[in-house]
Amino acid sequence: MTGPKNKFSRGTSFFIVFVAYIVAILVGIYVARFFNYQNSLIDVAIADVAATVVIFIFSFLLSNSSMYDPYWSVIPIPIACYWMTINPDGNPTRQWIILLLVTFWGVRLTVNWIRGWPGLHHEDWRYVDLAQKNGKLYWLVSFSGIHLFPTVLVFGGMIPVWVGMASSQPLNLLDYLAIIITFGAVLIEWISDEQLKAFKGKVTEKGAFINSGLWAYSRHPNYFGEVSFWVGLFLFAVAISPQNYWSGIGALAMIILFVFISIPMMDERHKLTRNSYEEHMKKVSGLVPWWPKK
């Protein structure tokens, strides 16, 4: 594989993606009902994997692993809705707050993807690079690393939502802190993405990179917002009981992913394609916004 070979228009591409995700969700529901472990965490995990397999099949048939890209932000919304509907005894205030926050995050991130995605003739540079490096083994790598691995990560990040939807306990101060962090995280992602989009629309110099706005204090403020979102969801579970600390495994995995994989990968690429980026790395924090070094 050397990249997508189709020439679908942007409109046709979105229609294909829409159909693929509807099919994936329906298959996920059917498979979960077929196995029916009567445990909403296990049932959703099975549905999640089944839906991922469907999207992978579309990726394979269309020779484009970017079919999976919106999965990260789309699937958590129906998962949160499902967990809310099956827990009529849960605290409705907490349930609605969590659902609205997940929906706000998911819709915002998906819209950002829609605005920047040119269609199925395009594929993420990271996938193309993996294809060139892995040859005939690429689709095994694609399924395990591009499709299944992120699904597992996001499902892990959603475990606190499962905990929060089931609890009938009243809100406390930690819940309010969780609201502030989670909502603030989405705003940080939103602002940083808008700043980046505006910069790309104005820049004419080849090799230039953004170092203004939030990007003056972090090389990847959008990643910081993403990590903070999952940490915020985790705080909802801890607010219910400190014994729910185990549900933070997903947020921890997100931190590890961005700190040790995503950021180094992006920085290495930028060092090759951006002027003086290596010097920029010495001055500006990689993830957590902080005052740059002089």
pLDDT digits (tens, 9 = 90+) for 157-184: 999 999 999 999 999 999 999 999 999 9
User: What pLDDT does 223 receive?
Assistant: 98
Q: Which residues contact 119 (CB under 8 A, 6 or more apart)?
A: 8, 9, 10, 12, 13, 14
Q: What is the mean pLDDT of the chain?
A: 95
For tokens 């707050």, name the residue: 97
181-208 pLDDT tens trace: 999 999 999 999 999 999 999 987 889 9
Which residues, in sequence order, are CB contacts of 256 under 8 Å at separation 6+?
A: none
DSSP annotation of 148 reads I
pLDDT of residue 4: 60
pLDDT digits (tens, 9 = 90+) for 221-248: 999 999 999 999 999 999 999 999 999 9
40-68 pLDDT tens trace: 999 999 999 999 999 999 999 999 999 99
Q: Which two tokens stand for residue 219?
A: 């090389």
Give the start-to-end residue ranges of the domains of the chain: 77-283
Asked whether residue 6 carries a pLDDT value surpassing 80, the answer given is no
The pLDDT, as a whole number, for residue 206 is 87
- The whole-number average pLDDT for the span 27-50 is 93
In angstroms, the CA 102 to CA 93 distance is 14
Residue among 254, 49, 44, 249 nearest 165 (CA): 44
Is the pLDDT confidence value at 2 over 60?
Answer: no
Report pLDDT for 203.
85
Q: Judge contact between 83 and 162, C-beta under 8 A.
A: yes
User: Contacts by 124-133 with C-beta closer than 8 Å and gap 24+?
Assistant: 124/65, 124/66, 124/69, 125/269, 126/265, 127/65, 127/66, 128/2, 128/3, 131/1, 131/2, 131/3, 132/2
pLDDT above 80 for 109: yes
User: Residue range 255-266: average pLDDT?
Assistant: 96
Q: What would the pLDDT profile of 69-101 be if each residue is shown by its tens digit?
A: 999 999 999 999 999 999 999 999 999 999 999
